[in-house]
Amino acid sequence: LFREARIAFGRAQGHDVVRWRGEVLGFSERISWKGRGTVRLEGETLAFDPHQGTAGGGEGQGSLDGLDQGLSCLLGDIRGVQISLRTLQVTLEGGRLYQFEFVDDSPKCWEDLVCLALTRLYARSGQCISEFKPRIVLESVR
């Protein structure tokens, strides 16, 4: 499997508390946009490469918060995949949430592709995925 696309890249950093009548109803994640770049799915790796000079292009961020060199993760480190609005959200180990907003590609297509890659990955170890969200749930194939 191979595909790449231009994206705006964001990461969840902290959350806002939603209250009603003084009671905590829940939390809403705060997404900070880190810049533009290219996301690439290749073999067992999902990688993001920032474009030169676009660090913080999304919302005036000064740096990529440690993402200057981009991000690369193994598919096995992905804990959840889903679409939210026009973006693809990927949750990694430790609950870190990354968000890709595609400039000229379909998030649905990417969701299907990443899910397919994950299915193939786990099938090799005799497991199948019964749920991709909120987290990947594995079952052994009998």
Partner 1 sequence: MMRYRVLRRTMRFYFRARIKIRCEGEENIPNEGPFLLVLGHQSHLDSLLLHTFCLRLMFTLTKSSVFRTRFMAWLAARVGAVPTRRFQIDLQAVRVALRLVQRGEGAGLFPEGERSWDGSLQPLRRGTIKLLLKAGVPVIPCGMVGTYGVLPRWGHMNWFKVGLGREPVTIRYGEPIQFGRHDDRAGRERARPEATVRIEAALEAVMAQ
Q: Enumerate binding residues for partner 1 (CB under 8 A).
A: 12, 15-16, 18-20, 24-31, 80, 82-85, 89, 91, 95, 97, 108, 131, 133-135, 137
Q: What's the closest the beta carbon of residue 106 comes to partner 1, in angstroms?
A: 10
Assess contact for 1 and 118: CB atoms under 8 A. no
Q: What's the closest the beta carbon of residue 51 comes to partner 1, in angstroms?
A: 25
Q: Which is nearer to partner 1, 7 or 136 (CB)?
A: 136
43: left (phi over 0), alpha (psi -120 to 50) or beta: left
Largest pairwise CA distance in the chain? 51
Q: Which is nearer to partner 1, 4 or 139 (CB)?
A: 139
Q: What's the closest the beta carbon of residue 52 comes to partner 1, in angstroms?
A: 29
Residue with tokens 């900070």: 32
What three-state secondary structure class fits 5? strand
Q: Which is nearer to partner 1, 22 or 60 (CB)?
A: 22
- DSSP-derived secondary structure letter, 81: E
Q: What's the closest the beta carbon of residue 121 comes to partner 1, in angstroms?
A: 20
Separation between Cα atoms, residue 40 and residue 136, nearest integer Å: 21
